[in-house]
Structure 1
């Protein structure tokens, strides 16, 4: 591998683009995306190397460190290739380029630039080559990408410089000690499966732990990344080692999620070969931080870190499998955006996204449509599973409806390029086909109600409501009614209904439960009582509007749902 830019242009075969545009993608299509990411990564790395040449440093110069990487790549091309294409390497390159352009902050620039030296040490260890490099230490620790964390015993605190010597896969690390002497360690760095790593309390070497599973082509190890400073989506982070019990829980849940994912047949939307995942970054559930409640759903990814996903371990393997699909959809789309100009986005946050509390820009809207088309496909594949068929029907019906709404927004925005229209058109064809597929009536009704509730509450909280109408009536549209003025005082709000409506309540008590159970009259009365206590409260008012529209499904009800911000709250009493 070299950092020389590719001169031959990429030309994606039409059939591979069509697979990806449908929301899915075969192994060949994903491999093409990875080739594109490789070319982009090397181009950015070449740019970064040019910039680093001018950075003053107490470490081995970047050009010498890069020479070590290239020498290691000649001897061990496969592991060094994986190292350079790892998500954390991409995140580091992007972050450091932002730093040298003055749009990001961090620790000493020479120390962050010294990540290249640590990468060179890791490459030399893989190749078994001998080298001596000056490297950055953080509280006496050296993060080795793709391998783990070396910790000098009794080391000086803060950011310092040390010396790393590699030979035949063995590392000797030397750095300043707290007593102004010298600290030293020798070890053979390697990763370890979950359950085989030493305790974090006194180990000088903390291996990167891996989630393992077996595929028809052999075992696969996916990093459970809790050590690397560039594992997150933005600024570098200190290590946050999972305790042993939590790591074991991740492996158990990952095993079960893999079993769910392997039930799909073919490369359709919502199907994922777990071997395509490049790393899983556990969020919040560490020995240093208390875990979030089980119902908290957090997952995220970055276009700079292809194949990586930050996830708070969900309460069930099914939820983890869904999150893995969701985040890999984002990775695929980010890779497509790196290859094709898909839209002209002014980044104005003005559009409704059915899975967000806030207005979104077009790029965010496209990401959501692509991700949730995959999620809809995931739930479609669960319809025949007796254990999950009930909730699968609801989620499939909900996500296909919401995704199609966003696809329509994108297609009518006038901002898609030719490749963008082809991509979004492919999503539309997939979703239109799914919308013709039958779903259990109860699940379909709850999905439609949940979709209406989210859109209604979103507009109540985000769109300026005109004044001047009697209580419970529509405010007539005024001049400029085609524009949607957004409230300057809008704030985030929790979506408490999307997942609550997945199951029909057996014994409804609250207005939401009555609405989910198909009793809009009881729900309307309950919402009215709540609004008498809290006039205009958006959650209650959204429920009241949707319940009232359900009781009057004609033109008047449709007008209520179309512009709910024009509805004045019902009068108390």
Structure 2
């Protein structure tokens, strides 16, 4: 059976194959490929309809939640408004339910007008503009064929997109780097235009046609140019998004890249030319004539056929697809070998480092701030002082990618819910992210193939279930997150402890040394042993373990095992009161629970679980599938319930045990909403990360960033349903408890509805974000339709007026 290929999710559709400028650095007309000469000037409606159909069937087959399409050229505005409208409408109509369209157009701006902006506003098309900086910089390459400057027309286009009614259409600026241009002048000229984003692109070059170098310009002039811009960008407080810089920051911390020119993520891009031909990435036109060709077309071949093309597959093979020199490079996980086209050499094809190899290493190390400084604070010899470490691979050696959610699962989560399968998919994606973050943190440590890391890697091949069980521990990632954030005080001991715990679980006889501090050796997910400070060697045996302390003492049992509570229906919860990294929550953690406190927690959890199944059945199955750890917190001030979800601890919530089981049930549901949404935000950008505005939530007196408002609103979907269900149970009954439930339900449905509308009105949601928040609104709608007595409305008004904001429990 032919294996299912990785889906393609980004498409460049050439709607016009000619241009009204004569830019001398254009890869379409000025580089090796000449296929443009043989193609129709304008894409036909038949081709557009066929490509829309192909994208639609591909999205349906792979259950894609979103596809991105860029209308391109040549100069796409030359295709005219009618053809552009047809393209947008055909694409949107062809997509299956549950799949969003992120539609963009990239233009030189010369032809942009109010009429076009009105068209794009109607069609939901974002607009990107090419601009290389100030007039001197832009005129170096971007001129008309008769030599006239295009700069005034481009500035008019940007000014048009900056008008309030069109600002939401402005996707950003694309600037091609020229080392003859002053980087500070270019940056300031672009920043003055207040773009939402700027892409700084290296000029296309290969080993056959190397990039420009200036006499006396140093060995890494492109890195030097970009680092100058980076310093200005950082000193200005990152006023707009820059994909290159943000991708370096992200990949250094184990996250995915935002651009195909960096990182190891598989390429998911395809190009459609005006004659209906499918091609690979446009940048390949710079390599040799015919380099991007596939021999396929939209009429005879599906996108799955295209995804199986050897050229596409070559850009999807991650580390294995790089040259030997790249695979051993210390910055390979950030660099990713550079843009595929930039690796070309006639005798070795693409099996080479990027022609910008030295520049990319200098750029990454410069952004990372490690030049000349080692982890201990002493001097080093530069990049070579940070050797590469192998990533913990996915099982079977497959690429480390988050598990995709189906459109139905995304919709389920958007409505606030998430069954066992959906939450399990989130958990798998979080496990992949934990692996990546651990690898990145270990790379940054400079320890190379040290014992603990080598053992963890070996166990991942020989006993993968043991490694998964340890890495799925919520606080496994906390160590990596702190290290990557610059906190070196946590040391390397926690990673050795993870390796030791995996060795004990595997029981193969593997041994590893673990540093001991404070008299306790902690084995994550298992327990801790009282051991003298120093270094202890942990050996995993078939029937247990052996710990040999530095003084020769041997220990074979836990002094304090991790305790778990088994609940009805097979849900088991660990009460995590041992892990030193459990302090990841916003509140102080409790010490080791006494036996009486353990009994109190056990009874409260059993009763709370029963209430969750009764009052929040739509949430209960997801909680059982994804919430495996409750970390006891210290009690808050009298009368205040304390709970927390840590962003880097999927599967855990922190709670100070409240006075009643119903309150515990609500806190569990409320905090697990935060856990779920955090995992969703690791998979999808629901909002514009560049939006720095603050927003008021109805339940808080202080303004929050948009993510804070989104998190609170999502959590309160569960709060609203909890009180709504309890109100229904009291239907027609008098009494204090019934009145309180009605007042809380009235208050929280009102608060949550106001917050949903505030999110919608922010204008900062992405296409997926809009659909997600719409799902939240749909989930809330039935509760808003429930009639409530006037007394409940008055009570809600009184609570709001008296408190200004209230806690999620309403207690």
Q: TM-score, normalised by structure 2?
A: 0.48
Q: Corresponding residue for 1:323?
A: 667
Q: Deviations over 1:467-506 (max 9, x none)?
A: xxxxxxxxxxxxxxxxxxxxxxxxxxxx599947xxxxxx
State the shift of 1:426 in Å. Answer: 1.0
Which aligned pairs between 1:209-248 and structure 2 lie closer than 5 A? 209-215=563-569, 219-233=570-584, 240-248=591-599
The Cα shift of 1:129 comes to: 1.2
**1:36 aligned to 2:429?**
yes
Q: Deviations over 1:390-435 (max 9, x none)?
A: 4332222111110111111111111000011011111112223311
What is the 5 A alignment of 1:82-481? Answer: 82-98=469-485, 102=486, 104=487, 106-107=489-490, 109=491, 113-152=492-531, 155-156=532-533, 160-176=534-550, 182=551, 184-189=553-558, 205-215=559-569, 219-233=570-584, 240-264=591-615, 266-267=617-618, 273-284=623-634, 291-293=635-637, 295-346=639-690, 348=692, 350-386=694-730, 389-455=738-804
Secondary structure at 1:129's aligned position in 2? coil
Distance 1:265 1:498 in 2: 14
- Distance in 2, matches of 1:187 and 1:404, equals 56
Secondary structure (helix, strand or coil) at the match of 2:729 reads coil
Q: 1:390 to 1:47 in 2, by over 3 A?
A: same
Contact 1:68–1:131 under 8 Å retained in 2: no
Contact 1:450 1:497 in 2 (8 A): no
8 Å contact kept, 2:478–2:649 = yes
Q: What's the secondary structure of 1:437's corresponding residue? A: coil
CA separation of 1:366 and 1:311: change in aligned 2, threshold 3 A: same
SS at match of 1:226: coil
Task: Give 1:12 deviation, angstroms.
Answer: 2.5
Gaps of 5+ in 2: 1-391
C-alpha distance in structure 2 between counterparts of 1:232 and 1:497, whole Å: 22
Deviations 1:415-472 (A, max 9, x none): 00001101111111222331111224322321133234455xx7xxxxxxxxxxxxxx
**Residues 1:6 and 2:399 aligned together:** yes
Report the secondary structure of 2:798's partner residue. helix
Shift of the 433–234 alpha-carbon distance from structure 1 to 2, 3 Å rule, reads: closer
How many positions carry a matched residue from both structures?
Answer: 413
Change (3 A) 1:72 1:385: farther
Instruction: Give the whole-Å Cα distance in 2 for the aligned partners of 1:280 and 1:349.
Output: 34
Q: 2-side partners of 1:449 and 1:2: how far apart?
A: 56
Partner SS for 1:360: strand
- Aligned residue number for residue 64 of structure 1: 454
Structure 1 residues 304-353: Cα deviation after superposition (integer angstroms, max 9, x where no partner): 11121011111100000000000110011011101100111447463212
Give me the whole-angstrom Cα distance separating, in 1, the residues matched to 2:808 and 2:623: 31
Shift of 1:167: 1.9
Secondary structure, aligned partner of 2:475 = helix
Give the direction of change, closer, same or farther, for the CA distance of 1:62–1:238 in structure 2 (3 Å limit).
Answer: farther
TM-score normalised over the length of structure 1: 0.66
* Cα RMSD (Å): 2.9
- 2:553 partner SS: strand
Structure 2 counterpart SS, 1:303 = coil
Bigger Rg, structure 1 or 2: 2
Q: Secondary structure at the match of 1:150?
A: strand
Instruction: Tell me the CA shift for residue 11 of structure 1.
Output: 4.1
Candidates 459, 467, 470, aligned match of 1:80 = 467
SS in 2 for 1:297: coil
The 3-state SS of whatever aligns with 1:38 is helix
Shift of 1:265: 7.0
1:427–1:234 distance in 2 versus 1, CA, 3 Å: closer
